[in-house]
């Protein structure tokens, strides 16, 4: 045993695996019960009551319980205290790994190596030589390789922009991303064999597509709600000052709808969508803000006043979604069709509502 293990960690790991299995043991549950998550997350960050981030490490109260709970754990913060890497929520990881339908001999590319934990699960199940994992952050890759070595696994872990794939180890039978994307990059399709399965977080959902030919794929969203840390790329911050100077228009869509029933469709119809909210002193929702990486920004007040600026009229799209959907639409009703020149998400039967995803990642 080359990693700290005090019996409590082994017991906690087995308990987490049993909870994840929920009576249905499979190869991935074997991997969760074999791979010690605490080796990959020697430290995570937790916000205290004031919102300040505190590190929690091995041996500290609550550490083991958190590491072997079904929680995403923040593992890296930038200079402004914004999370930039995390160990994803185990049940969501399991759902994605199950959806991958990976078999012995499959070559897998993972986007978003992070701590290396998911790469370890893949390597345990499929063999390290068939696993390639990529992260944009050199320091994270160094740490992931170290963690993997501790548990005796040596998949290929490289530094790069996952949206470009990793051509030198292609072709891949399976591609999985644990970082949020706005579109499914053509590069991933080009580096995949026909019939390959690609599982990727998109907006507030996870999409699973099958490659049907060069540059072509079809699939649909899983029913699982999920939100992953967005792929690191430059994007404009929200333009709230500029929006505040615009003349207000009236909207009958309650701001709460954007954070509730319309959250998933808005995240698809407005790729790269971000939102925030403001509350009054009693904690009631006063207004919401929404913006996209091109700097388009909208604010909607509980009074019905909407202000918008930038190249896209974001709230107009929210109003359109409010007309299309009576309640919260089920994720699995959204289909994805990819061709070399276009990616479309469509809802319901042929002829229903549809939205184009951006052409480039
Ligand atoms: C949720 S974490 C991944 C968790 C990881 N699979 C694990 O098991 O710990 C998302 C990761 O995506 C990485 N990332 C962000 N932008 C990226 C990009 N353009 N290409 C590759 N990785 C990226 C971040 O550095 C971060 O480590």
| Weakly modelled stretches of the chain, pLDDT under 70 | 1-3, 234
Residue 31 has a CB neighbour count (10 Å cut-off) of 21
Q: How far is the CA of 96 from the centre of ligand 1 (A)?
A: 15
Q: Locate the ligand 1 atom nearest the alpha carbon of residue 72 and give its number.
A: 1
Lookup: tokens for 81 = 């205290």
**CATH code reported for the domain at 8-221:** 3.40.50.150
Q: What is the structure's pLDDT at 234?
A: 65
Ligand 1 pocket check for 357: Cβ under 6 Å: no
Contacts of 158 (CB under 8 A, 6+ apart): 132, 133, 134, 141, 166
Q: How far is the CA of 85 from the centre of ligand 1 (A)?
A: 6
Q: What is the structure's pLDDT at 349?
A: 76
Ligand 1 pocket check for 343: Cβ under 6 Å: no
Ligand 1 pocket check for 44: Cβ under 6 Å: no
Q: Locate the ligand 1 atom nearest the alpha carbon of residue 140 and give its number.
A: 27
pLDDT digits (tens, 9 = 90+) for 119-158: 999 999 999 999 999 999 999 999 999 999 999 999 999 9
Q: What is the structure's pLDDT at 1?
A: 41
Q: How far is the CA of 229 from the centre of ligand 1 (A)?
A: 7
Instruction: Give the chain's largest Cα–Cα span.
Output: 66
Q: What Rg value do the Cα atoms of the chain yield, rounded? A: 21
Q: What is the structure's pLDDT at 237?
A: 86
Residue-range domain boundaries for the chain: 8-221, 240-324
CA 131, CA 106: separation in Å to the nearest integer? 9
Ligand 1 pocket check for 27: Cβ under 6 Å: no
Ligand 1 pocket check for 86: Cβ under 6 Å: yes
CA 116, CA 135: separation in Å to the nearest integer? 10
């Amino acid at each position: 045993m080359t990693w700290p293990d005090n019996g409590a960690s082994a017991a906690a790991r087995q308990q987490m695996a049993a909870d994840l299995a929920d009576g249905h043991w499979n190869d991935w549950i074997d991997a969760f019960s074999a791979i010690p998550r605490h080796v990959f997350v020697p430290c995570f960050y937790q916000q205290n009551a004031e919102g300040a981030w505190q590190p929690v490490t091995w041996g500290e109260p609550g550490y083991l319980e958190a590491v072997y709970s079904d929680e995403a754990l923040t593992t890296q913060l930038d200079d402004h205290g914004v999370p930039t890497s995390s160990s994803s929520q185990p049940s969501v990881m399991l759902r994605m790994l199950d959806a991958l339908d990976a078999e012995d001999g499959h070559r897998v590319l993972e986007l978003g190596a992070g701590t290396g934990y998911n790469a370890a699960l893949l390597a345990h199940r499929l063999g390290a030589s068939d696993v390639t994992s990529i992260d944009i952050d050199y320091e994270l890759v160094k740490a992931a390789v170290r963690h993997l070595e501790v548990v005796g696994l040596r998949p290929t872990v490289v530094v790069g922009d996952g949206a470009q794939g990793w051509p030198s180890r292609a072709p891949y039978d399976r591609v999985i991303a644990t970082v949020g994307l706005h579109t499914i990059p053509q590069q991933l399709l080009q580096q995949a064999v026909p019939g390959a399965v690609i599982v990727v977080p998109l907006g507030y959902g996870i999409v699973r597509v099958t490659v049907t030919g060069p540059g072509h794929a079809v699939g649909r969203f899983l029913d699982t709600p999920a939100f992953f840390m967005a792929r690191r790329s430059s994007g404009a911050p929200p333009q709230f000052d500029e929006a505040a100077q615009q003349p207000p228009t009236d909207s009958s869509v309650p701001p709460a709808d954007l954070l509730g029933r319309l959250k998933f469709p808005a995240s698809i119809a407005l790729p790269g969508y971000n939102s925030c909210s403001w509350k009054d002193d009693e904690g009631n929702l006063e207004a919401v803000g929404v913006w996209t990486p091109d700097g388009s920004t909208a604010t909607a007040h509980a009074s019905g006043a909407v202000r918008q600026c930038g190249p896209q009229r974001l709230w107009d799209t929210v109003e359109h979604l409010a007309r299309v959907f009576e309640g919260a639409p089920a994720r699995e009703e959204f289909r994805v069709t990819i061709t070399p020149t276009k990616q479309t998400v469509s809802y319901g039967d042929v002829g229903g509502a549809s939205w184009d995803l951006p052409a480039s990642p």
